Structure 1
């Protein structure tokens, strides 16, 4: 039994260590970072909203099933290069499926997901944006984990003012 547990932990270790690659950006002064944890979502879920408002109730249902949101943005060329390299390594692990690619207005945006409990849910939504904001280059890494209802996701990303949220909303309407 102990050998089985050790083997499972060793097999899962690359998934955990890879996720930590992005956390290194949190403390870099060249990176704007936002990380929300499940504790924050649980606090938000306790906010007393009108029970008569179905949209608010759906929103609360979405956020109470989230585990973590990480957003890292940088315009520093060295950091941008490192971000691109880390994303390439993360995607090479092969567990994420490509959802869509958008090349629009100087932005190259790629969305990936990890399947969830059924076709309407994903356990991770991952986005990588390479582009410009005005005349300034930028890279953005977005990772949302938990049991994510795809029909509600575009609302959350729009509320967080995440670049690429509009493209995600358009893709959701096509589904």
Structure 2
């Protein structure tokens, strides 16, 4: 009986730790972290922008449907290695589909998604980049969750200045099923 309880506890502990691969980066010294929650997006959606400007209205519609954005970047080799290991474990769960890969100027950028309500929408957009920025090695993990319109999400990631996000402008043309 004790053995069964101990095994169950170990299973629960390892399962909860496995599901939180990236939260450990929130407070790591050598990681730049940006985490925005749905509360932030609700505040942003209340900003009084011109309702006659269609671009502003599209932007508001986009942020109203966001749940969370997590962006982690690091230049430190040991952290970058851990990021790659955690991304690999996350992708091995099999819940994400590859959207596209870009290898350019020493940067390897991979985009993945979880299906959404139709082929233009996803419930999660995930990006992992290994490469260089300003001549320094860098790794970037980005996860955006919500009801995301792929045709509009590149504007948001560009505004956030996420390294590698400029490649999202081509995601509609390169999307695979």
For the aligned pair, the TM-score class normalised by the smaller chain equals: 0.7 to 0.9
Report the equivalent of 2:4.
none
Where does structure 1 lack aligned partners over 5 or more consecutive residues? 1-9
Report the equivalent of 2:147.
147
In structure 1, C-alpha distance between the alignment counterparts of 2:17 and 2:116, rounded to whole Å: 21
What's the CA shift for 1:165? Answer: 1.6
Report the equivalent of 1:44.
44
Q: 1:19 to 1:44 in 2, by over 3 A?
A: farther
TM-superposition CA deviations, 1:44-73 (whole Å, max 9, x none): 000011110011101100101100000000
Where does structure 2 lack aligned partners over 5 or more consecutive residues? 1-10
CA contact (8 A) 2:99 2:171 kept: no
Coordinate RMSD, CA, aligned: 1.8
How many residues are paired up? 163
In structure 2, C-alpha distance between the alignment counterparts of 1:147 and 1:18, rounded to whole Å: 24
Pick the structure with greater CA Rg: 2
Secondary structure of the residue aligned to 2:47 is coil
Secondary structure of the residue aligned to 2:147 is strand
In structure 1, C-alpha distance between the alignment counterparts of 2:19 and 2:70, rounded to whole Å: 10
What's the CA shift for 1:170? Answer: 2.6
**TM-score, with normalisation over the residues of structure 2?**
0.87
Matches within 5 A, 1:26-37: 26-37=26-37
Secondary structure of the residue aligned to 2:51 is coil
- Confirm or deny that 1:101 pairs with 2:105: no
CA contact (8 A) 2:37 2:67 kept: yes
- Confirm or deny that 1:156 pairs with 2:156: yes
Report the equivalent of 2:168.
168
TM-superposition CA deviations, 1:104-127 (whole Å, max 9, x none): 111100000000011111000000
CA contact (8 A) 1:154 1:172 kept: no
Secondary structure of the residue aligned to 1:21 is coil
Q: 1:108 to 1:57 in 2, by over 3 A?
A: same
In structure 2, C-alpha distance between the alignment counterparts of 1:171 and 1:118, rounded to whole Å: 15
What's the CA shift for 1:134? Answer: 2.8
**TM-score, with normalisation over the residues of structure 1?**
0.88
